[in-house]
Structure 1
Amino acid sequence: MIEPIFLQGICKDYLWGGNRLREEFGKVSDADKIAESWELACHKDGSSILRSGADAGLDLQEYVDRYGTAFLGTNCAGCETVPVLIKLIDAKQDLSIQVHPDDAYAMAAEGEPGKTEMWYIVDCTPGAALYYGVNREVSKEEFARRIENQSLTEILNRVEVKPGELYFIPSGTLHAIGAGILLAEIQQNSNTTYRVYDYGRRGADGKLRPLHVEKALDVTNLRTTAPTVQYPTQNIPGGTVRKLEACDYFASDVVNVSGTTAFSVGEETFHHLLVLTGEGVLKTAAGTAKISKGDSVLLPAGLGKYEVTGNCQFIVTRMDKPVRLK
C-alpha cells in the first residue's frame, strides 16, 4: 500500500540567517543559526531524511537509488532525481543580490538545471522588502558599471512585502530577499547562484564572499519584469485554496483548512505538503497521521484520495506538466 512519506529538512547556516525556523517551526541543527531548511531536497548539496515508514533514516537520494523515481509519477518519467527543491528561508539580514541561469546555460556551465523559483511570504517585519528585477531597461555596460561602483540597488525594483504574497522569479531575474522576511521557496532542483553584490560582507573565513560577475553578465535579463499575478482565493469544502504558480517547472497552491478538505493524488504526479501554520490530521487509505506547523510530507503518485482535517495552512506542490529533460 502506498503511504505518505514524512521528511526531515536539511538545515543550512548561512551568515544572513536567523533562528525562527528553530524556534517556531521546530527545525533542529547544531549550528548557531538556521538560514534555510531544505524540506524536499534530493541534491548533492543536501537531501531530506525520511522519518516515517520502513525506510526511515534513509535520505531521499538513498531512497531514489534503492527504488527509482516511479513514486514521482508519469510526468516525471525519465527523471533521475526529484525535479523540485522546496525550502523554508529565514532572512534575519539581507541576502546578496543574485541571479540564476536558465537550463541551457546552467547545464553547459554547471552541469545541473537552471533555477526558476517562487517565493511565498509566510511572515515579515513591517517595512520588509525584496529586490525583484530592474526598474527600467538597462544596458549590459551600465549593469557592469553599477556592479563595479556599487550602485546596483539604484536600478533595482524594490518591493515592500506582506504575508500571503507571491513572487515568481524566472531564471535571469536579479533578486534578493530582504531582512525580516520568512518565506517558502519552491524552485527547480538546482543550487547554482551567481552573486553580484554582497554589501562587502565576509564569510566565516574572514574573506570577502566571492562574486560571479562575468557569469551574471551572461545570464541576467536587463528588461523590466512583469509583476507577479496574485490569484484569487477560491472556496472549497472545508476551507479555501489559492493558486500560487503553475509554470513549466512546478505548480503550487496554498490551502487553508478549517474543517475537512479532500484531494487526490493520481498517477501523473506526486504531491508535497509543507505545513505553514496550525495542525490537523492527514487521512489516506494507509491510515491517519497528525500534521503540524513545519511538517513536510511527500505523497507518492498513485496514493489516491487524501483528506486534511483541522485548522492549518499548507502549500501543496505538484508537477502538472511533464518534466523537460536535458
Structure 2
Amino acid sequence: MKKPIFLEPLFQERIWGGNRLSKIYGYQTPSNQTGECWAISAHSNGQNVVRSGELKGKLLEDLWREYPDLFGHFESDRFPLLIKILDANEDLSVQVHPNDDYASEYEYGELGKTECWYIIDCDENADMIFGHHAQSKEEFIRMVDNGHWNDLLQRVKIKPGDFFYVPSGTIHALCKGTLVLETQQSSDTTYRVYDYDRRDDKGNLRELHLEKAIEVTTVPHVTSKVEPAFIKMSGGSIITFVEEDYFTVYKWDVQTEMELMQDAHFLLASVIEGEGTLCTEDGEYALQKGDHFILPHDLDSFKIKGTLQLISSHPNYKGSQHRKMESTARRQMANI
C-alpha cells in the first residue's frame, strides 16, 4: 500500500494539563486539564485508530500485527515508538525512566523509555529541569531524603525550536508554560522523584517511586550533546536532530515544495505549524496543523507542498550492525 495512514489523536487528562491543545490545534479535548495528545501510539494505555481510507477504524496495534508489509517487517514484537504533544500548563513531576533491561524485569515486560523533546512553544524565560548535581549515589540519596531540591536539580533555559535528547536514567521535568512534541520508545513507565507535595482530586498526595527511581537514575548526570545537522533543499530544509539506538528525529521545514525519499522502514510525521499538501503517486492529501500520519514502507518518494513545519521520525534497531551499515552506506552515497 502506497497511501499515507492518518490517525485520530487520543487525549489524556493530567493534573498539570491545560487548554492549548484545543486552542492551538483545534482538537476536541475532554477538559481544560488536557495534558497529552497521544498522536501516534499502539501502546495498550492509549491506541490511535486510523482516521480515513480503507483501513478506517482499525487500531494501530492491529495494523502492526496484521499488515507487516506496511512497516517493512520491522523486527519488533510491538510498535516501537510513541509520539505525543504535551501541554505543561503547570510543572510536571520530577521524574526518571528505566532502560529496557530494568523495565523488562520489573515492569512486566514493558520497554524502557528513552525520549526526546522539540519545544514547539514556551513562555518567555521558561526553563525545565534537566539533570542533577549529585556526584555519587550516596549524595543523590541524601539530597532526596533531606528535600534539598533546589541544590539537587539542574535547571536549563529553553526557547521555541530547542531540542533535547533524554536518555533513560535522566532526571527531568517539563515546567509551566511549555508545549512540546515528544518522540519516545513505546512505554508508559515513569518513576516520580518529587511532585511539589501536590494532591490528587481525592486530596491524597500523589505517589512517588523513590526506590525504583534511585536504582535507575544515572549518577553523576551525563548531558547528551545534541548536534543537529542542517541540509538546505530546494523549497525548504531538513534538520536531523538525533540519530541514536531507538530513533532518528527530523524537522521538515517546507517553504514551497520539497521532494523527499523514504529510506527507512516507515516514517512517522506530525504537522506542528502551517498547512499544505502531501503528494504521492497515489494521490494528494491535505495537511493542516495538528495532523499525524505514517508513511508506510512501500511509499518510496513523496512531495510536500505549502508552508508548513513537520517533526518526523523513524525507529532504529538498537545495537544493530545492519542498521549502522545502512546508515554508513547512505552517508557515503550522499558524498558521491
The CA distance in 1 between the partners of 2:208 and 2:20, in whole Å, is 28
The CA distance in 2 between the partners of 1:302 and 1:153, in whole Å, is 51
The CA distance in 2 between the partners of 1:234 and 1:256, in whole Å, is 10
- Specify the alignment match of 1:177 in structure 2: 174
The CA distance in 2 between the partners of 1:253 and 1:260, in whole Å, is 17
RMSD: 1.6
Cα shift at 1:96: 0.4
Cα shift at 1:227: 5.0
Say whether the 8 Å CA contact 1:101–1:172 is kept in structure 2: yes
- Specify the alignment match of 2:251 in structure 1: 254
SS of residue paired to 1:30? coil
The CA distance in 2 between the partners of 1:33 and 1:194, in whole Å, is 21
Cα shift at 1:73: 2.0
Letter in 1 for 2:254: V
Cα shift at 1:139: 2.2
Q: Which runs of 5+ in 2 are unaligned?
A: 321-336
- Output the TM-score relative to the length of structure 1: 0.94
The CA distance in 2 between the partners of 1:132 and 1:228, in whole Å, is 13
Cα shift at 1:72: 1.8
- Specify the alignment match of 1:73 in structure 2: 72
Say whether the 8 Å CA contact 2:25–2:290 is kept in structure 1: yes
- Specify the alignment match of 2:283 in structure 1: 287
- Does 2:328 match 1:322? no
Cα shift at 1:229: 1.8
The number of residues matched between the two structures is 319
Letter in 1 for 2:15: L
Moved more, 4-13 or 55-64: 55-64
Cα shift at 1:228: 3.1
Cα shift at 1:134: 1.6
Letter in 1 for 2:222: T
- Specify the alignment match of 2:328 in structure 1: none
What percentage of aligned pairs have identical amino acids?
Answer: 38
Say whether the 8 Å CA contact 2:17–2:32 is kept in structure 1: no
The CA distance in 2 between the partners of 1:235 and 1:305, in whole Å, is 18
Cα shift at 1:232: 4.5
The CA distance in 2 between the partners of 1:52 and 1:80, in whole Å, is 26
Letter in 2 for 1:132: F
After superposition, give the CA deviation of every residue in 1:184-209 in whole Å (9 maximum; x if it has no partner): 00000101100010000111222111
- Specify the alignment match of 1:297 in structure 2: 293
Match of residue 213, structure 2, among 202, 210, 216? 216
Letter in 2 for 1:124: C
Cα shift at 1:48: 1.0
1:227/1:61 Cα in 2 relative to 1: closer, same or farther (>3 Å)? closer
After superposition, give the CA deviation of every residue in 1:124-162 in whole Å (9 maximum; x if it has no partner): 001111111123x43222222222222223222200101
Q: Which runs of 5+ in 1 are unaligned?
A: none
The CA distance in 2 between the partners of 1:30 and 1:113, in whole Å, is 28
- Does 2:203 match 1:206? yes
The CA distance in 1 between the partners of 2:247 and 2:84, in whole Å, is 14
Cα shift at 1:323: 5.0
- Specify the alignment match of 1:38 in structure 2: 38
